[in-house]
Structure 1
Amino acid sequence: MVNRKKTICVIGAGPSGLTAAKNLLWDRRGRRSAAPGFRSASADFRVTIIESQLHIGGLWPSAPDDIHGHIHPLMLANQSRHTMQLSGLAWDDQAPVFPRAWQIGAYLERYYQRFLHGFLETGDLVLQLGRRVVKVEPIEDGKKGWHVSTQETLASHGVEVVDAGVFDYIVVASGFFGSPRVPGGLATQGGMNDLPILHSSAYRDLNTLFSNLVPSSGKIVVAGGQFSGVDIAATIADHLSNMQHIPSGKPSNLSVHHIVQKPFWVFPLHTSPAVDAASPLFLPLDMTSYNMLKRPHLLSDTQGHISVERARTTHSIFSELLGSDQSDIHPALALPEGSPARDAPPYVAVSDTYSEHVRSGTITLTTGKLELVSNKQISVTTASESSLIDDVAAVIMATGFNATSSLSFLPDSVKKTMSFDETDTRQPLVLAFHDTHHPSVPSLAFVGFYRSPYWGVMEMQARVATALITEHAASQSWAASTPQWPRLAPALAEDQSVQRTLALRADPERASQFPMGDYLYLMDSFGKALGIPRTPGTVRIGEMTMDVVTPMHYFDTDDGQGELMIDTKDNDHAIEFTKQTIFAGLKDNRFVARAIFRSLQGTWKLDRYLKSKLPSHPSGRFVGTATFSLREGTNDGLPSSEAADAEYLYTEEGLFTADNGLSFRASRRYVWRYNERLDKLSVWFARTDDASKADYLFHALKFSPTDHGWTAKAGHLCIEDFYDVHYQFSLNGVNLTKWTLGYAVSGPSKDYTILGTFQRS
């Protein structure tokens, strides 16, 4: 007699749900679950994925015009493609280092097509899109399965609940970011009918924010000071800058006011693995963070409970990486050595443009808590005082997401068993072995229900869920030790996750921003428990050695017995691509142009001296300001293959005083462009008839390291006059603090030299 296949309901088709289904249907070594010699028939699975969205990918949008979800399709990921991938499927080589949200959605669709779609034909997979799980009821405490009920996502209110059937096991992969969260107590009073108030996840652009009637003045208030607050404040400031500085742009007195409750560190997307170098090299932020060689051989968890000593040490590391305690940016962000703020667990955010928007005043910071919206005024309170922000044009609540809504289908009895606490925004459930399960509910597993963005951890959780369900199906034991996973049972027995979570609840002031934030420790811990060795990714260049961990480095290529179904070349290619990226950054200076370009944003004090050998061009000194205003890339003068990914309109204003005493006001404009694919930073002359448009190429910078910082050289022939251009860039940490631009001009009618010094204003 052949036993029936065990049925599993995976709730959610985002990255966690897809990798959960893939691991349930495929062997860890790349064989289908029904391959000969793998599992007994009793451990063979039929998987049903239920997803509330109408497409694969969960929260991730499916296309550039998919604007109706919680994530803007054009949002830039704050981790690179090397981290945001799942083993067995490489990104296309031409994909950007930091993909857009819709590109991530497209990657997940490819993942589904590669690993799951074929199971629809065999009946081993059922996919239900546009259906929301509304109730999951255990049968005899889950010992005989779970009764699942769903409802159509887009159906009208009150539609009859649909019985989805009974399943032996449930995998909760509904995500940590369930629904937008707006704190209670926010009051709206008279005069608010025309004032837009929305959650940050609903913001798309200025036109939709103001229903295509963008006001000429007013303050867009953003409340919330973590990842989403920083991201949305910077995004709106970017949009305002673009609106004013694109060709045919219009002036505006709109501004961004960001309400934060405490200081936090703001990291750019690229940082340096050696910030103390005179000419620091750059890599994507997660590559420098996930270098295994920076950690001791026996890893311990550095997150969760943060002691005062550890907090101070981490703050110092962050300050060194950035080259600043951020007091030069704004007092509300300042974290100086010895301040009480350094005793608290550090908080971080990621943005390329936020800090310079704050420094330049494009974003105004206010410390406190938003309490009241009334008559286009915002009340901001602290422990000792309150203040008002008037002339409010819109309010954006960047207050995060409510994780508990992702658990709304669970019965109260199950939540009680798992010590559910809806006030705990970090870990509302108390789960075992890195948030994968609870020992008292052996037919329920969790994948991706944690507050961190790491896809590798999701995949490891999916492997643990598969192991637990497989062993339970075969022996009715949740922690059985078998030859397939001989190390898992000891790891579960030694696990202290439940105790750690309960301890954190008792001491919330010492809790880290991300309790599951130690990526290297988690990947190492999971790998050892599952018996998956890590493929080394060591890259050595001179005195620099890196071993960056990605999901691809935990992929068992031993084909064991049976048919090998997954082409491991794709995984190997991704590992090699990561190595090549590191090599390019450390050997070929890739990302230096990008880092320099990013750090130019904002306003600089400019002091320039011109020395001429010809009386027709008087010598003299120019003193003023130079401003790099961010805008969307334009194509003026460019072939389509070299379209700019990012662009500044450069404007300088000041007073030129000739050596003969004559003085006059002077201004100049250029367009600075960066192309990621070519890793090219270039400067363009502005048109004489429209100074907001690029005319023709002035020069492209070619960077070289020196003992005094990065230099760049370029040349340009203008009719018969040659411009010999040279730059010198001085960085502190990852940020420019001073740079010079000089050039010698020689030709039949010109013979002069110019040297300008730029310092932060």
Structure 2
Amino acid sequence: MSSSKKVAIIGAGPSGLVAAKTLLHCVPAGSFAPVIFEKQHAIGGLWPTKRPTVRGLIDPSMRTNLSRFTVAFSDLAWESVLGGGDVPMFPQAWQVNQYLATYAEQYLPREIIRVGHEVVKIVRLTREGSRPRWEVQWRETEWNSKTDTRSERFDFLIVASGYFSRPYVPDIPGLDGFTGKTVHSSALSTPEDMDDLVENIDASGGKVVVTGASMSGVEAASALALHLSSLGLASSSPSRKPFEVHHVCSRPFWTVPLYIPDPRQARFLPLDLAFYDLGRRPAGLVEYGYGRVSGQQAKKSNNYFRSLLGGDYECIGSVGVSSTNDEIEEIPPPWVAIGDDYAEYTRSGAITATIGRITTIHSHPNGRATVDIRNETTNDVTSFDNVAAIVMATGFTPYSSLSFLPADVLSQLEYSTTDPFLPLVLDGKGTSNAAVPELGFVGLYRGPYWGAMEMQARSLAQAWLLQAEQDVPFSDEALARKNAEREAVRHVRGADPRLHRSQFPMGDYVGIMESFARDLDIHRTPLSDDGDRSGPVVPARYPAEKGSVAQADIVVDSLRGVLSPDLKGHALAGAAATAVFRALHGTWRFERVDSRGGRDRKVRGTSIFCPRYPSRPGCGREYVCEEMEIEDGSPRRGSRCVYGLTHDSTSRRDDPISISVLVEGDNPSQSMGLQVSYVPTDREGITVCAVGHQPLDGSEYRYVFQFDGVVITSWECTMLSNNEDEMKTLYTRGT
């Protein structure tokens, strides 16, 4: 190649950074000269710094809902970012920004990243006899002003400005006239946000309606339920803020905890390591699946979740999902939302879920409203009265991420302003369109994974390397393949959105990674000596030929440790502790035999585990457990304890779960930590044990938790003193 081809990259989030890194390091040196334009004054896109100067769409303390093995690129290990100590399994958002900053420092020259440069317009320059070029027009944005527009020309253009560019609020009749609080879910992350939302709800109560069936809907409803629970537990809480949380869901969905059963062993794994296991695919070539979703595929997905999560969980962890006996052929494909607490909040009644779509809002003079919800399957209409606030968990639109492209180019891309699910018709697995070969896209689709972004960048780099050396951009075979792929996109675009579209247009992550690897001749790293096709698909298993293989090796070695059958590892124990802690939420019946003092006193009652905001440093989650004994038919208040879970249960703590006995004023009188481990057993399901020692009197507490899927069916606590059973309590799920 005679000279470096200039490439403009719009956006310095994960997709823009990996695109620039790939162009610099994964093809012959000097092939490309990338420049990144970023309108913000820092890199990272949606991922905020620890103390952001401007509030973004993500709370810095929010944890990722996929593990560190998936939220990463192939050539940078989290151990190299956080110092190799305790690496959280699910990093916080500010740590993801730190990861991206380290990635940029390691692989990208500082001068190619132009922060504070807002692209305002792009022109495609065509001249007969030569390849089209791109004129990028931008202006520098100071903190309170903008400079004059300037321009520069490039050979190639990558749009990496992200799908989640602008919150979407649907046009609902009556919404404009509603005088209560209305917020988008992206503005609802802190306790102060919750207080502001419900501040006008007085002692007469009121309803907060969350609308939206995807990730943000479950997160917003759960956050409000936690706020309500915390208010109820706070002794100084004013009594003027009771409210109900109603979740309106337009689609059937499953909520999935962060840790789910490993189908091969009696233990828990991060959900992505289980979902994206190659062993789940049928024998033969793993191909990227794309197209309409049939009713049979939808039923197959539902049955998979039933078998994985357990029979009891279906009643509380799914909303609107057809039953196993449903004979309807055309059932909608279920969506998936990730959340540890939503299911138990619905069991307790803290969240009431309703299938349907808000059709009308009728406002009243007192600031409240009546909200009509229509079920699109049955056409039944349900109305909620006394609605005081509405949370729009309705997602985002990608249109502002495309607004700078020329109208003629958007026309060639079959741009739709009414279909945010598929705004463009692209080929190359979402990277390009053969009609505009010098234009590329990285991560511009709903739900992109970091591994897929990296593969898209590699695919573009290889394609453009060939284009620069050839007179014709594509061979006849490649052109036919691209045409067929775009036709498949049109076919999905024309499908019934409710019945035949999946949650994510490119949701077959395993298939897309394997297909890209085959196209690019990238060899997957085996996880075992026999080299069989097994284990989860993670970016580090597909290292670039000229990338940092040493970094990938660190990740793969860590992954092998997590997947190892050794049941004593910290990651495995932490997974078990998190699974146990999550499943304790709610009400339990207990029967106790107390042998202290030489007598066998039998007691029964209830224990209620209520979530609240953490009250102690180092604690990520907390329950207040209130015990009520029933004696002679009358309830009598028993002990009051706080159960806590460390910030990250996979850290090298011997006691990730703590229990503190409370006295008046919520001051702990005594506390102990629990060591958690798995119990090998022949019985079906997973068994976890925990052991704690009370330092005040030397007593030992032994716990055994029996799981069906992700739900604890029963658990037992035995207190021993001088190696003798002093008190044994059996807990079963109650109401």
What TM-score results when the alignment is normalised by the length of structure 2?
A: 0.88
1:631 corresponds to 2:607 = no
Kept in 1, the 8 Å contact 2:74–2:552? The answer is: yes
* Residue among 621, 625, 637 paired with 1:650: 625
Q: Which among 92, 109, 118 is matched to residue 132 of structure 1?
A: 118
Deviation at 1:511, TM superposition (A): 1.8
Over 3 Å counting, the alpha-carbon distance change for 1:572 and 1:356 in structure 2 is same
Q: In the TM superposition, what whole-angstrom CA distance separates every residue of 1:296-343 from its partner, at most 9, and x where no partner exists?
A: 331133453222222211211111111137552278444420334983
**8 Å CA contact 2:576, 2:688 repeated in 1:** no
SS state at 1:253 partner: coil
Deviation of 1:155 after TM superposition, in Å, equals: 7.5
1:172 aligns with one of 152, 156, 159: 159
In structure 2, the residue matched to 1:512 is 502
Structure 1 pair 241–132 and aligned structure 2 pair: CA distance change class (3 A): farther
Q: Could you tell me which residue of structure 1 aligns to residue 135 of structure 2?
A: 147
Alignment length (residue pairs): 702
Q: Which residue of 1 aligns with 2:644?
A: 673
Q: 1:491 to 1:656 in 2, by over 3 A?
A: farther
Structure 2 equivalent of residue 731 of structure 1: 707
Match status 1:96 vs 2:88? yes
* Runs (5+) with no aligned partner, structure 2: none
Picking from 603, 627, 634, the partner of 2:587 is 603
| 1:422 counterpart SS class | coil
Cα gap change, 1:391 to 1:570, in 2 (>3 Å) = same
SS at match of 2:137: strand
Paired position in structure 2 for 1:205? 190
For 1:570-581, what aligned pairs fall within 5 Å after superposition? 570-581=551-562
Once residues 155 and 701 of structure 1 are traced to their aligned partners in structure 2, the CA distance between those partners, rounded to angstroms, is 51
Q: Paired residue for 1:741?
A: 717
Counterpart for residue 262 of structure 1: 251
Q: C-alpha displacement at 1:132, in angstroms?
A: 2.6
CA contact (8 A) 2:46 2:57 kept: yes
Deviation at 1:458, TM superposition (A): 0.3
Give the residue type in structure 2 aligned to 1:671: V
Equivalent residue for 1:5? 4
Deviation at 1:733, TM superposition (A): 1.3
Counterparts of 1:134 and 1:381, CA distance in 2: 40
SS at structure 2 position matched to 1:319: helix
Q: Which amino acid aligns with 1:753?
A: M
State the shift of 1:663 in Å: 5.6
Whichever residue aligns with residue 708 of structure 2, its letter is N
Partner of 1:484: none
1:694 alignment partner in structure 2: 668
- The 5-angstrom pairing of residues 70-85 of structure 1 reads 70-85=57-72
In the TM superposition, residue 162 of structure 1 has moved relative to its aligned partner by 1.1
1:378-436 alpha-carbon deviations (Å, 9 max, x no partner): 41221534343333332211111102221111122112211222222322111112011
1:519 Cα deviation from its structure 2 partner: 1.0
User: Helix, strand or coil: the match of 1:500?
Assistant: helix
Match of 1:41 in 2: none
Contact 2:10 2:38 in 1 (8 A): yes
Indicate the SS of the match to 1:730. strand
Residue 5 of structure 2 aligns to which amino acid in structure 1? Answer: K
Flag the 1:21–1:679 CA change in 2: closer, same or farther, 3 A: farther
1:273 maps to what in 2?
A: 262
Equivalent-residue separation in structure 1 for 2:172 and 2:520 (angstroms): 47
Residue in 2 that maps onto 1:402: 397
Question: Structure 1 residues 74, 88: CA separation in 2 closer, same or farther (over 3 Å shift)?
Answer: same
**Quick one: distance in 1 between partners of 2:420 and 2:23?**
30
Whole-Å Cα distance in 1 between the matches of residues 668 and 471 of structure 2? 70
- CA-to-aligned-CA distance 1:252-288 (integer Å, 9 cap, x gap): 413322111232011101111228x7xx311111001
Q: Which moved more, 1:582-591 or 1:421-430?
A: 582-591
Cα distance, 1:610 vs structure 2: 2.5
Amino acid of the structure 2 residue aligned with 1:454: Y
Superimposed CA distance per residue, residues 361-386 of structure 1 (whole angstroms, 9 cap, x where no aligned partner): 11122222223442321412215343
Query: Partner of 1:684 in structure 2?
Result: 659
- C-alpha contact 1:263 1:333 (8 A) present in aligned 2: yes
Alignment of structure 1 residues 527-606 onto 2, 5 Å: 527-538=517-528, 546-557=534-545, 567-583=548-564, 588=569, 589-590=572-573, 591-604=575-588, 606=589
Q: Which amino acid aligns with 2:457?
A: A
Q: How does 1:316-327 map to 2 (within 5 A)?
A: 316-324=303-311, 326=313
- Alignment partner of 1:510: what SS? coil
Q: Does 1:315 align with 2:302?
A: yes
Question: Deviation at 1:186?
Answer: 4.4
Give the conservation status (yes or no) of the 8 Å contact 2:26–2:544.
no
Contact 2:183 2:391 in 1 (8 A): yes
Which residue number corresponds to residue 758 of structure 1? Answer: 732
1:23-172 maps to which residues of 2 (within 5 A)? 23-28=22-27, 33-34=29-30, 44-65=31-52, 68-92=55-79, 93=84, 94-117=86-109, 120=111, 125=112, 127-140=113-126, 143-152=131-140, 162-172=149-159
Q: CA RMSD in A?
A: 3.1
1:560-586 C-alpha deviation (Å, 9 max, x unpaired): xxxxxx643222111111212222776
Deviates more, 1:393-402 or 1:160-169: 160-169
> Shift in Å at residue 474 of structure 1?
2.5
Shift of 1:5: 3.4
Give a deviation string over 1:615-637, Cα, whole Å, max 9, x none.
8x6723322x32112233343xx
Checking the alignment, whether the CA contact within 8 Å between 2:309 and 2:709 is kept in structure 1 is: yes
Q: 1:213 to 1:596 in 2, by over 3 A?
A: closer
* Aligned partners of 2:141 and 2:147 also within 8 Å: no
The alignment partner of 2:645 has SS state of strand
Q: Distance in 1 between matches of 2:530 and 2:664?
A: 52
Question: Per the alignment, in what secondary structure is the counterpart of residue 380 of structure 1?
Answer: strand
The Cα offsets for residues 664-712 of structure 1, whole Å up to 9 and x where unpaired, read as 623221121223112634342423232x343322452443233345252
Partner of 1:317, secondary structure, is helix
Q: Is the 8 A contact 2:260 2:270 kept in 1?
A: yes
AA at the equivalent of 1:267? V
Quickly say closer, same or farther: Cα 1:532–1:598, change in 2 above 3 A. Answer: same
- Does residue 1:360 correspond to 2:348, yes or no? yes
Aligned partner letter, 2:124: P
Displacement after TM superposition at 1:727 (Å): 2.7
